[in-house]
Amino acid sequence: MVPLKRRKVVSSGAGSAGSDDVTSPTRFPQVVLFLLERKMGASRRAFLSQLGGKNGFQVEELCSERVTHVICENNSGEEVRRWLESQVGSPAHLLDVSWFTESMRAGRPVEILDRHKLQEQQINEVEVEAFSTPSYACQRRTTLDNHNAVLTDALSLLAENAELSDEDGRGVAFRRAAAVLKSLPEPVTGLTQLRGLPCLGGHSLRVIKDVLENGASSEVEATKQSERFNALKVLTGIFGVGVKTAERWIRERIVGLQQLQDSEQTLNRAQQAGLRHYEDLNQPVTRAEADAVAAVVEEAVASVLPGARVTLIGGFRRGKLTGHDVDFLITHPEEGREAGLMPKVVSWLDSQGFLLYQKTSRNSYLEAEDGPGRPSSNMDRFERCFSVFKLPEEARRGAEEARRGAEETEPCSSSPAAVSQVKGEGLKPWRAVRVDLVVSPISQFAFALLGWTGSKLFERELRRWAGHEKAMSLSSHALYDNRQSRYLRASSEEEIFAHLGLEFIPPSERNA
């Protein structure tokens, strides 16, 4: 719960708001009002305070023990009461702004009815056990067994909408709230169970309350119907297209793929590939398809550098059965042997007809320059290749059959993209798959493995824990102790967790 901040004093007068020339004598000494600015806004609060003063009400600028009625707008009762109890104790009444406006119209304090009171969950706390969980996602074990998918899906959609609107702060807030719910051992049935849990702000709680009471969130449903949101989803779904480019196209009235194809927009190589293979790249990649790609990558690496190791990372390492791409981390047990490996691997893959698109970047990480002094970033500096693979249907099917034979699972249906029709070509015997290749020196391998395993929020929380709680700087390259002014070396993920003072959490429980 992010605490509500006490409003700063903006008036030199102690006590009621408004100046003497607009404030009538107090007519109701037993009623002392405080208008909460949060979500009401400063200008509206000032206007309502002045209105109250004109009608003979005492309106306090700051909340104190004298206050008898707290007036709020768009706040939940639980979050306001929790804040007030931490500040001045619990006042007599927490009221919606509707009580205030009705009192202004009546010229006196009207009777307080149930509809005027801020809504607080009325569940018997003996019957419903409250949950508890640590503040940081990197302290929590989060499996793929999500008991609150309806709630987390709603919050995740709002997070996505915030991120597409360049409001990363709101996006992270929703992601953290969803992560808390994902970690809970049982389904949430009422808001009382969430009392005291971290990262659940007022906005998230209102969404949760809406879903629990009505089966869906009106805000989420409105977002799903938003033309802008849907246009941004479609356009940023093109490989190589970011939010800023998509927004520029929308301003030019390009909101769909056909309009983009018909326009005279100049697309770079990545965007051309993304548009050409849009259907494939927006279909989930199955674990069988990831295994098929892995077999190809392992053959390529073994052909150009015997002894090198290839590790499947990302969501598939965490146990996910589908993903939007396939990521591999490559290293060699001998430091330095990995240098120059990527161009050779890419050349082999290209010669075998596996690459529809590729862009390779060199390793630009220098420990002395880019370590502790470098601003925290989600991006690392490894040698890497962003590519679009041409995965033959035969290879995908073979890997799927092998996987079924190795373990009893539900049959994976053929990916729609793998058998999609191409105009004039009938059934396509391959599908396009996003594949990222990353090469790491063995000395940085443990950090790269941790950083590239995810989830994204889990990694963000690890870095936040390192900085805020341990005065350390963590990246996918290294861990630096700012107090001791030295690097902390590690040859395994377990050692990194130990350096950070955290209990080791295996990949399968990092699905925050």
Which residues have a catalytic role annotated? 325, 327, 436
**Dist CA 211 CA 310 (whole Å):** 44
Count Cα neighbours of 475 within 13 Å in the Cβ-side half-sphere: 22
Contact 209/140 with Cβ under 8 angstroms? no
Provide the token pair at 95: 């009221």
Cα separations (Å) of 405 from 32, 56, 317, 402, 409?
A: 74, 81, 20, 5, 9
Q: In terms of Cα–Cα distance, which of 139, 119, 228 is closest to 179?
A: 139
Provide the token pair at 398: 């073979």
Q: Which SS3 state, helix, strand or coil, does residue 389 take?
A: strand
Provide the token pair at 251: 């301003």
β-partners of residue 117 are 95
Count Cα neighbours of 178 within 13 Å in the Cβ-side half-sphere: 24
Helix (H) or strand (E) segment spanning residue 310: strand 309-313
Residues 6+ apart with CB under 8 A from 242: 236
Phi, psi of 395 (to 5 degrees): -65, -40
Phi, psi of 356 (to 5 degrees): -95, -25
Q: Which SS3 state, helix, strand or coil, does residue 135 take?
A: coil
* Residue with the two structure tokens 């949760």: 208
Q: In terms of Cα–Cα distance, which of 478, 487, 413, 402 is closest to 446?
A: 478
